[in-house]
A and B are shown apart, each in its own frame.
Chain A
């Protein structure tokens, strides 16, 4: 009985907070900006509180960082999706002509 009451209270506080804090839609925009500039103290507190009670936005932020890390780690790998479409013969010949004329 005591536990149930505690859970109910926890839920109420969580919902109360979620209603008062910036929404998820506003929070994801702040998350994106946090990757571009340092947030103000107020922005940081609101973000921390929101992330503390919202797993979706937590995952969102984590995913943006995963995407950045993966993309930068692979920046110099030739993208495999164009492997069948390197330089066309026509472009290759044109560039070759241009390069040998320079010599």
Chain B
């Protein structure tokens, strides 16, 4: 009697275990970037499907987590690319708040910092900030009032470190547009982080 040939553990992928081990992590990674639960679930599913197909190429090359995150990054970018094609940036597009109130109105000091909004010293090194909790929570809350595309551009640039040209191609925007978006996002986020992250700890 011939026993059916079973595959030895480790040689064939186990989607159930993948889902248990990495599902939540990948979902959090995706939802933080896509800011949409359904889109994040889809990206996770597409990642696992692609991983199943490419499993033979993977075997033991990197950690499973690193490998899956690498695939997910591409899925996230694919999502942005689709969204960029579906809603090309029109003339009336919204790049985000200008925050003119941060600066003085016409007068001798027009265009200089309004003292109510001027930056304060942070008294912390980057290393200390990295250790401090809640960074992503505050970061995420601060990004939420910004238009979706501005928040995406900012995250791709400042979190994932993509180059300007890559982001323009992904989002189907011009580089001048990107610079305006990044500038407004930085102006807004810096102020918001200072109010909610630094002052909150004092």
A interface residues with partner B (beta carbon < 8 Å): 18-19, 23-26, 28-29, 32-33, 35-37, 56-57, 59-60, 62-64, 66-83, 85-88, 91-92, 94-96, 98-100, 102-103
Contact = CB atoms under 8 A, between A and B. Distances in A.
A72 B161 contact: yes
Given A23-B103, A71-B159, A78 B23 contact: no
Give chain B's interface residue range (CB within 8 Å of chain A): 35 or more
B25 interface: yes
A60 B190 contact: yes
Nearest to A78: B28
A67 B189 contact: yes
Contacts of B183: 28-29, 32-33
B126 A56 contact: no
Q: Which 8 A-B pairs have the closest CB atoms?
A: A23-B111, A86-B24, A99-B15, A81-B137, A79-B136, A32-B183, A59-B119, A25-B111
B27 A102 contact: no
Contact of B23 (A67, A87, A98): A87
Contacts of A19: 108
Interface string B161-202: 100100000000000001100110011011001100000000
Given A36-B164, A66-B129, A102 B49 contact: yes
A14 B130 CA distance: 36
20 contacts: A23-B110, A25-B103, A25-B112, A28-B187, A32-B183, A59-B120, A66-B122, A71-B135, A73-B130, A82-B28, A85-B31, A87-B23, A87-B44, A91-B27, A95-B23, A99-B19, A99-B48, A100-B15, A102-B52, A103-B15
